[in-house]
Amino acid sequence: MESVYLLIPISVVLVFGIAAAFWWSVRSGQFDDLEGPGFRVLMDDDLPKNKDELPENDKSEKV
């Protein structure tokens, strides 16, 4: 029974800590765009910047 006197205050402090962390994350915009990062992985639009970065089969020797 003595352990209940210790565990209840610890659990209340833990609940308040988790609630504060959740409140901070909502206020700082962590949950604004949930789908954007997932789509950003799929849309890989990286193009080579110069002619030296092109693969060998894409290089055309135009004079």
Backbone angles phi, psi at 27, to 5 degrees: -70, -30
Report the mean per-residue pLDDT for the chain. 81
Distance, CA of 49 to CA of 6 (rounded, Å): 63
Tell me the C-alpha distance between 3 and 24, whole Å: 32
Calculate mean pLDDT across residues 9-28: 96
pLDDT score of 24: 96
d(CA 19, CA 10): 14
Q: What is the pLDDT of residue 34?
A: 81
